[in-house]
Chain A
Amino acid sequence: MGVWQIIKLAIAGIRANKMRSFLTMLGVIIGVAAVIVLVSIGEGASKSVTDRIEGMGSNLISVTIRGNQSSATLSYDEVQGWKERAGIQGLAPIVNGNVSVKYGSNKYDTGLEGVNEEYQEVRNHKVQAGRFILPMDVSLRQKVVLLGTEVSTELFGNMNPVGETVKINGTNFKVVGLLEEKGSESMGSNDDKVLIPLTTAERLLNSKGIRSVYVQAESPEMVDLVVTQIDNILFRKTNDAESYRVFNQAEMLSTVNEVTGTLTAMLGGIAAISLLVGGIGIMNIMLVSVTERTREIGIRKAIGAKRKDILRQFLIEALVVSSSGGIIGIILGTGGANLLGSIMAMETVVSLKIMALAFGFSLFIGVVFGMYPANKAAKMNPIEALRFE
């Protein structure tokens, strides 16, 4: 019997028992939709975190000095000395603190970072108006400031702040630039901060020494080499591996990906269980159907159907049910993921891969759970089947 003919018959059977077929499919529909929605949430989370980390700048290594002893901190010259090492493209030492910024009667508390001119390239910041900090600003301790977009909006509204003067902790600073909006990243908001020259910041915050340096390697291949070199320098300086931390972005990425990958797998696994339950539903209904159609099986066998003919017929029916459920589930799941993405304002990623996987899994479920009832049908004794009322 032709496969196409069996499919047509199976569809006719599904339409003849609409309610039953729908309930049978429901398990698969819910399962497939759940797989797609949950995995899309997992992948969306992974993507947004990955994007944020990559947004920090490429081939980035962050060096942090721990502890409070000032002896352990680095000087600006010391950091600049690292430049001679191989593989380093840029060095951006940072001094940071919390300040309050005033413009007229508007006051806003925010984070301050004292940076040098290389910070822009290393941290992948863009300036939408004005200019960035120049080497001269650093060497001359200029009182100039760049504002993050959030700070600018708080103080100036929609006005262009460049050229205005603000008071930071009571000291006048000239606004020379406005940063481009960058969004949040793992190290906090990029838009809720102000940047001033490093040397100026040291004096303003009354802090000596640098506790944080961003280092940009020339290429991804150089990252490990740079990490090793900095590690050596710092260990020689402090003799204590616990007093500093050298963290590389690639490592962070792989850690995050590992975590989100586990999350995605877990969510997918939970959803897969509901698919499994759907499969059991198919098996249940198929068993009922086989019993109901015992006489039909007997007739088919009497006029010459072989075991494989009957097996194929019931298996195809199970597959039609499970794949129809799969297709409806994919449509609902994709719609649900997009809806969830827009309502909950979270990123969801529905990949073709996961759709194919969910559909393939629903087919697999159809075969696995259709096999037992189909085999039961195929093995029926024709005489007994014909006698069945």
Chain B
Amino acid sequence: MMIKLVDISKFYHTGSVTLAALDKVNLEIKNGEMIAIMGPSGSGKSTLMNMIGCLDVPSEGRYLLDEREVSRLKEDDLSEIRNKKIGFIFQSFNLLPKLTALENVELPLIYRGMQTAERRQSSVAALNMVGLSDRMHHKPTELSGGQQQRVAIARALAGNPPVILADEPTGNLDSRSGVEVMEIIRDLNEKGKTVILITHDMEIARQARRIISIQDGCIVKDEEVA
């Protein structure tokens, strides 16, 4: 899986003023990389994440995902790509409160049209991987923040997507849970997933092997870390 952004721009029009949230961004992320995207709020990092995550389409430029042009796709086609290729981890977990942990993990597989037995098996395996097999019939409200984020990671993993997109994954967690969650994410990368972290926390960003800094819609720094 290779991510390639070519001259990506995103404009927002407010009245007569046009704002460029992204301004001709070029970025290439190789298979199995673990990168961190850093920047202050309003820098365009969220827009960039939405772009990479196929939640949004650019105003200009090209986005090649595995050499497939995805920047001009329709909404439902983007849904399918998100479903199969990208696992999302959000700062606020974004679990459905009325579903159990297991049902939450199953959700992307349901939208993929997977049969019940296979779906159940994959979901249980994913929950095992994050160490929550004993909590799978609990509702999110019955779980701690760290456990909820681990359920969210299991949900991102269940469909076995090649890319994991994590937006401030430790932002709402205490430091101990944060460390645990980062361990799982690093472990995923070691098992071959491409991991993209969006963060403003240098401590978190340092755990990646490559850090990209973004400011005013432009990439200002792209450095490898040891």
Contacts and interface: CB of A to CB of B under 8 A. Distances in A.
A52 interface: no
Interface residues of A, number: 24
B118 to A, nearest CB: 14
A302 B75 contact: no
Interface in B50-67: 50, 53, 55-56
A352 B30 CA distance: 67
Query: Chain A at the B interface: mostly helix, strand, loop or mixed?
Result: helix
B94 interface: yes
Interface in A296-336: 296, 298-309
A302 B55 contact: yes
Nearest to A303: B108
Interface stretch (B79-87, B127-135, B141-149, B179-187): B79-87
A7 to B, nearest CB: 14
Nearest to B98: A12
Nearest to A307: B76
Contacts of B82: 302-304
Given A303-B83, A304-B82, A304-B84, A309 B94 contact: no
Contacts of A1: 110-111
A13 B96 CA distance: 12
A309 B83 CA distance: 13
Contact of A303 (B50, B98, B111): B111
A13 to B, nearest CB: 7
Interface string A1-21: 110010001001100100000
A383 interface: yes
B155 interface: yes
Contacts of A162: none
Contact of A305 (B55, B79, B95, B98): B79
Size class of B's contact patch? 20 to 34
B209 interface: no
B107 A306 contact: no
Contact of A386 (B76, B94, B110, B159): B94
B55 A304 contact: no
Contacts of B94: 295, 298-299, 302, 386
Contacts of B110: 1-2, 5
Interface in A168-223: none
A301 B96 CA distance: 12
B112 interface: yes
A114 interface: no
A44 interface: no
Contact of B75 (A5, A16, A303, A307): A307
Interface in B145-182: 155, 159
Interface of B: 50, 53, 55-56, 75-76, 79-80, 82-84, 88, 90, 94-96, 98-99, 107-108, 110-112, 155, 159
Q: Which 9 pairs, one residue from A and one from B, show the smallest C-beta to C-beta distance?
A: A304-B83, A303-B108, A304-B111, A306-B76, A1-B110, A306-B79, A299-B94, A305-B111, A383-B55
